[in-house]
Chains A and B, each alone.
Chain A
Amino acid sequence: MTHLYKIFTFFLFLATTSILAQTNSVPTPAKAQSETIVLRGGTAHIGDGKVIENSIIVFENGKITMAADATMVKMDFTDKKVIDITGKEVYPGFVAASTSMGLMEIAAVRATRDEDEIGGLNPNVRSIISYNTDSRVIPTVRSNGILIAQVRPEGGRIAGTSTVVQLDAWNWEDAVYKIDDGIHLSWPHIYSFKGWWANPGGIEKNEKYSEEVTQIKDLFDQAKAYCQSNKHDEKNLKLSSMCGLFDGSQQLFIHVNMIKEIIEAVNFSKKYGVKIIIVGGEDAWMATDILKNNNIPVVIKRTQSLPSRSDEDIDLPFKLPKLLQDAGVLYCITLGDGSDAFWDQRNLPFHAGQAVPNGLTKEQAVTAITFNPAKILNIADKTGTLEVGKDANIIISTGDVLDMRTSNIEYAFIQGRAIDLDNKQKALYRKYMEKYGLKE
């Protein structure tokens, strides 16, 4: 009986939320770009560090066809939709690397989570098929300018395969921007916690560390050998799912923070000739030489975080981007792991902004969430800058988007499509402003 009751209430819940949906809180994916759009007069932040004060950006059929200084351009704007953005800021859409957005709806409710499959080694598990384009969270993130995201599974040693998506789609097949782009590995910890959170037993050397590393190496040895041949009497799904790593079509994202673990992860990658990316990399500032010499980029998680050691520079996480920038290590910024890494992605521009009073120029900070993640995710040919030939993934803000004091996104385009920036939260805002008779 109670079970039936629960199912009933569950459907009741669904019914309630769909009524809410009718209050215009679920934006409809935009139609394909039909007319040429001209953005005139804005300050264009190209994404590669360049700024064009008085710019003309033109895009048609989803692609940028012009990004230039308005004073240098003579052009006929008839038959084109011209949007005057004088005094406003225009940027490439932001790219959020390594997020569980779309796989997780309410962190504490297990039924709404699809990011963590059981079993330690799941390279064959693919995030994209769980990606929920109808998540109520995505529109709230998108309305802050995040247009592209790498959706990745987490948990276990090898959590699975990620896919890069664009954030305005009817279904996951529509959403794909770069399918199965990388495999996500959590490097073993040299130290482990004893006890549990209410009764911690302190930190001890992880006695199984070598064993855990060996397990990874065994898997990679076998996968590399397996991928040499197309013919197998018995197909192994796990091994075959890793072949992209060895032919260069996929990258290996290694989630690792501590310095010694980072170094071991790098040396591991050299042995297998796999292209790796360090995700997390709190200690990456101590390993800039080895990272640079091996062309290994870093996905920084949360500049707005605390130093991991009490003796460290109190602002070290704020300064990490600058330290990597100066050392010539390619990096980008994202939000982090676990239960905050999805909804909190809407603060991505501010995590980039945080690095500005700590050493980066504003344009470098923009690059850290546009061109750099595009490069790291191997999608820089399609997005990441406002350059001719790239997808028209563009946002326009009335003020500096890196600063919450001025960030206010008015328009966003994904592949030239003008997307609806409304979301459930704005709808609730309107609903209650109306209830109280308040004016915005």
Chain B
Amino acid sequence: MMKKFQTTLFIALLLSCAFVSAQTTFPVNGVYDQREGLYAFTNATIHTTYNRTIENATLLIRDGKVEAVGTTVTIPKDAVIVDVKDKHIYPSFIDLYANYGVPKVKGSSWNWGDPPQFLSTKDGAYAWNEAIKAEFDAVEHFKVDKKDAEEYINLGFGAVLTHQHDGIVRGSGVLVLLNDENEHEVILKEKASAHYSFQKGASSQVYPTSLMGSIALLRQTYLDAQWYAGIGNKEEKNITLQRFNELQNLPQIFEVRDWLSALRADKIGDEFGKQYIIKGDGDEYQRINALKSANVPFILPLNFPDAYDVEDPFDATNVSLKEMKHWELAASNASILAEANIEFAFTLDDLKNKKDFLKNIRKAINRGLSEEAALKALTYTPANLLGVNTLIGSLEKGKVANFLIVSDNIFEKKAVIHENWIGGKPNRLKELTQMDLRGEYAFNVGTVNYELQINGEPDAPNMEIILNDSTKITIKHTIHDESVSLSFDTDKDSLNQAKIGIGKVRLSGWIDKQGEQWVGRGQDADGQWIDWQILYAGELPEKEEDKKKDGDTKDTENKDVVDEEGEEEEQEEVGEVIYPFEAYGATSVPKQESILFKNATVWTNEADGILEQTDVLIENGKIAAIGEGLAISSSTKVINAEGKHLTSGVIDEHSHIAISKGVNEGGQASSAEVSIGDVVNSEDINIYRQLAGGVTTSQLLHGSANPIGGQSGIIKLKWGYLPEDMKMKDAPGFIKFALGENVKQSSWPSSSAKRFPQTRMGVEQVYVNAFTRAKEYGAQRQSLGVSSSKGKKRTTPSLGSSSVKPDLELDALLEIIEGKRFITCHSYVQSEITMLMRVAEQFGFKVNTFTHILEGYKVADKMKEHGVNASSFSDWWAYKYEVIDAIPYNGAIMHKMGVNVGFNSDDAEMARRLNQEAAKAIKYGGLSEEDAWKFVTLNPAKMLHIDDKVGSIKIGKDADVVLWSDNPLSIYAKAEKTFIDGICFFDREENEQREEYVRRERNRLVQKMLEVKKKGGKTQAAKPKKKRLYHCDDMGEGETTDFYHEHHKGH
């Protein structure tokens, strides 16, 4: 999957326009002043590239390029020689994810209450959607920004790849040097990269409103562009698509906000033959194996969160274990990636306080990242990923002279970047020749003689008058080059006071001979002019150093892992990664077992009915045997199920848990192209909570904001597994439709309710129109011999000759007509229920399921005739006008009429009590217990066409079983163990251990954060950040809210 990037061929061309010595189109006002820039840096430790260091070497640069480097360099006579003895020279850093010198985009111009904007308002022949901005070339808008550049330069950067951080397709980036010169001189490579994200950015168009919409829009853009490259450009002119095609051979950089989306992006890349470089979020360590198998290179931010202020135990409850653990582990991210051999570069992006950059790299090193890997991520890898490693990223002959002169090993805390040379030009940051003034001195002020010590660091010395062992006077001092200003308070000695007064003594002078003598004049506390001098007396006493070492040892014993700034010093113990990275996750995912349930009451859901005192054997993920005295192997675990009830797992036909960033793509009346399957979120705590309610399979549905919603994801609740591994294998395709008040936007303010349809009459026409178009599309494709574009790698160049543009929306609709995709339709009143069945019949297919279907009892006979399934609520009503006639007997009537009926949740809380909801069919309508139980197991399995695998206890079916403490229909029953595919995903006893882990781990982290705070480290407020729960008519990508448990149920 990893694609080798073509090394650029334009180096010669680029070099010719990037450097001062070359010819220029610009006239000069005055005399030409072109200098050769010939410098030799001698006696240095030169890190020519991330894995090669030469001691005592010379770096020779000329005309902005490296001319030679090594220990045997012949220095030309006309070279300026800079002796950098004891200094280190590194290639300057490269940032691939800058937003430097390119105009920043303000937020959307759309305001609450404005009518929705359906199409692009951009002038010109551009894409229909404002979030697709392939035409934006950063090079055309790039402007040198001295202030921003300084920030980068101070941190050691020499070149950055910059682009406009806005939109889903963001156009091209430009690679520039950070010098404050003409744009013409600093651009290293135009159109150096193509950029993407899932954020629609400043676009004020309604579409897309969700992550899955962004994904679908990007997919369709690839298809449109392929079509455009073929026949399409003869049918319309579209600058965006043309430019999109031009971007395709560049390095492709994709920004995501979490590792889940990194996998999503990689999947899209696979479909279209692209290998993205992923700009991650710093949480990659949470699923390192998945990312390793995806083999994706990363651009990593170093945005380590501050510790939370958990001083107040109640406030601390606002911070989740996930947040605490991320606080602790964020710094380990890079080392974990390095260990997994994942290629990565560092970026300054996302770092709030940019000055923390090197500090955070040191933290990463402290967590096990090698210095070599760190340097690689700052120099070689970014250049390599961009295909410009013949240009920058190392110090070799012919490369751009971007390098740093550093006082020490750059990864040491005391290291100081003296100079950052970019394109052969110096940026002087800190005096190169730092005098080390430390030592003992004699200090004569007028007629007073003091003992003086200069200690501290060479670049930040302390000056103290030593009166005796315990009394010192600090001298305030300014030392610039060789000029010196000093001031201090006179001591209490009466004799001295008689000589120089009481108060401040102020002195000025110079260092006469370094390491020997300082002299000057000044005024004593009485204002009398006096002479002064400081004479070197020797090195600092050893004692001082020893004392310091003792202190260090003590610190270590006290487990002091932070210094006064809260920075880590010692190698520290950190917690483990858990799967999922959320409370109740575990350090390993559970494995398949062979289990015999002995003497259970078994609810088979088959002809056998409910069997007392029966054994069930599960093996290899399947139900292997049912009966008494079953033969088992020695490795089979026996569970005594005496007095307990064993059932197949609960199946929730209508769920909105485990979905990332938006359950509705409501921007258009039809969004058949989007799929919940693209946005499954394996990290949702509700997965675990529902396992505790015996749920094993859920259909994750699109919401009900529009008549034609999106495609479903059918998952098994495999807590700890990856989204792709949770998806049920070979499950048929489903799509959500919706009728009634939600789709006609009944509760929207009239200013916003502008989307067709606004009545049930219009809803019918949406369907007739959609299926008519889909039918025609299918016919055209068939006549051209093109099969559906689904399921294959979507690079279909042969389509170029076809005049039918592949259309993901119509593909999905066509699948419905062809009986390959099934409808689950949100529905309430009888009129619309009948309408949809008639529309389906008109187009020759059947509606598969009506969900909610609260007036189904009024047309149960028609439903039976059509052959549709009913997935209802047990007893909901009165929350909106269209449920005024809802009755809790609905399920029973439909069942008695021969309709296949189930109860669903549409609610993260109710889902974990679906067993109780099923029992309401006994209370309201008098169903038998067996029939009621099937409402939440076998019947939904039938609706989902997965009853050959799940839904009953039958030999050969998936071992998705639940052991209940009591009759499963009873409110007193608890799911004790929940198995999926023979794997135990919930065990009430083990749950106590998980609870204990949460408690213990939280406590450990709280103590650790308190320690950071005590040491003066930075903290952030402990605010609640609750995840949002989705319901049918929720719009937007929101992930927070709901903390105060406002119940906004929109079914």
Q: Which residues of A contact B (CB under 8 A)?
A: 105-109, 137, 189, 191, 193, 195-200, 202-205, 257-260, 280, 282, 286, 304-311, 313-315, 336-340, 342-343, 346-347, 350, 353-354, 356-357, 402-405, 407-408, 425-426, 428-429, 432-433, 436, 438, 440
Q: Give the interface of B toward A (CB within 8 A).
A: 112, 209, 314-315, 317-318, 320-322, 582-584, 685-686, 688-689, 692, 741, 746-747, 857-858, 860-861, 875, 877-881, 884-889, 893, 896-897, 908-910, 913, 916, 919-920, 922-923, 925-926, 929, 965-967, 969-974, 991, 995, 998, 1002, 1021, 1023-1029, 1034-1036, 1038-1041, 1043-1049
Interface centre among B314, B919, B1028 (most CB of A within 10 A): B314
CA distance A311 to B1000 in the complex (A): 12
Which one of B875, B897, B920, B1048 lies within 8 Å of A338 (CB-CB)? B1048
Q: Is the CB of B923 within 8 A of A404?
A: yes
With the chains together, A191 CA to B1046 CA distance in Å? Answer: 14
Contact between chains at B584 and A357 (CB < 8 Å): no
> Contacts A306-B908, A356-B971, A429-B887 hold; do A346 and B875 have CB atoms under 8 A apart?
yes
Q: How far is the CA of A354 from the CA of B1026 in the complex (A)?
A: 25
Q: Are B897 and A436 in contact (CB under 8 A)?
A: yes
Cβ of B885 and Cβ of A428 under 8 Å apart?
yes
Contacts of A309 in B (CB 8 A): 317-318, 320, 1024, 1026
User: DSSP class of B's interface residues: helix, strand, loop or mixed?
Assistant: loop
- Are A407 and B692 neighbours in the complex by a CB distance under 8 Å? no
Q: A191-B1043, A197-B1048, A311-B1002 are contacts. A108–B1027 as well, Cβ < 8 Å?
A: no
The smallest C-beta distance from B656 to any residue of chain A, in angstroms, reads 13
Q: What's the nearest-Cβ distance from chain B to residue A281, in Å?
A: 11
29 A-B residue pairs with Cβ-Cβ distance under 8 Å, sorted by A, are: A106-B880, A108-B747, A108-B881, A197-B1036, A197-B1041, A202-B1025, A204-B1023, A258-B1044, A304-B909, A306-B908, A308-B1043, A310-B322, A311-B320, A311-B998, A314-B991, A337-B1047, A338-B1046, A338-B1047, A339-B1049, A347-B875, A357-B965, A357-B972, A405-B970, A405-B971, A428-B889, A429-B887, A429-B889, A432-B860, A438-B896
Nearest residue (CB) in B for A307 is: B689
Q: Kindly provide the distance from the CB of B614 to the nearest chain A CB, expressed in whole angstroms.
A: 22
Query: Are B889's CB and A425's CB within 8 A?
Result: yes
Can you add 4 more A-B contacts, CB < 8 Å, to A197-B1048, A304-B910? Answer: A191-B1043, A197-B1041, A198-B1036, A309-B320
Asked if B1043 and A403 make an inter-chain contact with CB atoms under 8 angstroms apart, the answer reads: no
Given contacts A259-B317, A308-B1045, contact A200 B893 (CB under 8 A): no
Contacts of B322 in A (CB 8 A): 310
**Do the beta carbons of A203 and B1040 come within 8 Å of each other?**
yes
| Count: A-B pairs, CB below 8 Å | 192
Taking the nearest CB of chain A, how far is it from the CB of B619, in angstroms?
Answer: 29
Among B923, B926, B1048, chain A packs the most CB atoms within 10 A around the CB of: B923
In contact, B685 and A310 (Cβ under 8 angstroms): yes
In the docked arrangement, what's the CA distance between A9 and B318, Å?
51
Q: How far is the CA of A403 from the CA of B896 in the complex (A)?
A: 24
- A16 → chain B closest CB, angstroms: 11
- Find the B residue at minimum CB distance from A346: B875
A343 touches B878 (CB 8 A): yes
Residues of A within 8 A of B1038 (CB): 195, 197-200
Let me know if A405 and B880 touch, CB within 8 A.
Answer: no
Indicate if the CB atoms of A313 and B995 lie closer than 8 Å.
yes
Whether B1047 contacts A350 by the Cβ 8 Å rule is no
8 Å CB contact of A109 from B209, B880, B920, B926: B880
Give bound CA distance, A107 to B878, whole Å: 6
Min C-beta distance of B534 to chain A, whole Å: 54
Q: Is the CB of A257 within 8 A of B1044?
A: yes
* Contact, CB under 8 Å: A436 / B971: no
CA distance A199 to B199 in the complex (A): 13
Q: Which 3 A-B pairs have the closest CB atoms?
A: A198-B1036, A108-B880, A343-B878
Report how far A259 CA is from B1022 CA in the complex, Å. 14
Q: Which residues of A contact B995 (CB under 8 A)?
A: 313
Q: A437 CA to B886 CA in the complex, in Å?
A: 20
Cβ–Cβ contact B1041 & A286, under 8 A = no
B1020 to chain A, nearest CB (A): 12
Q: Taking CB as reference atom, which chain B residue is nearest A337?
A: B1047
Tell me, rounded to whole Å, the shortest Cβ–Cβ distance linking A14 to chain B. Answer: 13
Q: Are A314 and B689 in touch, CB under 8 angstroms?
A: yes
Q: State A105–B877 Cα separation when bound (angstroms).
A: 10
Query: With a CB–CB cut-off of 8 A, which chain A residues contact B583?
Result: 310-311
- A286, A314, A426 interface centre (most CB from chain B within 10 Å): A314
| Chain B residues, CB < 8 A from A310 | 320-322, 582-583, 685, 1026-1027
* Shortest beta-carbon distance from A220 to chain B in Å: 23
CB contact between A357 and one of B317, B971, B1040 (< 8 Å): that residue: B971
Q: CA–CA, A347 to B1043, complex, Å? A: 24
Q: In the complex the two chains form, is A137's CB within 8 Å of B878's CB?
A: yes
Expressed in whole angstroms, the Cα–Cα distance for A432 and B698 within the complex equals 32
Establish whether residues B971 and A339, one from each chain, have CB atoms under 8 Å apart when the complex forms.
no
Chain B residues with Cβ below 8 Å from A340 are: 879, 1047, 1049
Q: Known interface pairs A203-B1023, A405-B923. Does A336 touch B1047 (Cβ–Cβ under 8 Å)?
A: yes
Residues of A within 8 A of B1047 (CB): 336-340
Q: Is the CB of A432 within 8 A of B858?
A: yes
The answer, among B688, B926, B1028, for a CB contact under 8 Å with A440, is: B926
Distance A203 CA – B1038 CA, assembled complex (angstroms): 12
Query: Shortest CB–CB separation between residue A208 and chain B, in angstroms?
Result: 16
Q: Pick the contact of B923 from A200, A280, A408 — CB < 8 Å?
A: A408
Given contacts A203-B1043, A282-B1045, A402-B971, contact A191 B1023 (CB under 8 A): yes
CB distance from B637 to the nearest CB of A (A): 24
CB closest chain-A residue, reference B885: A428
Contact of B974 among A257, A338, A357 (CB under 8 A): A357
A196 interface neighbour in B112, B321, B875, B1046, Cβ under 8 Å: B112
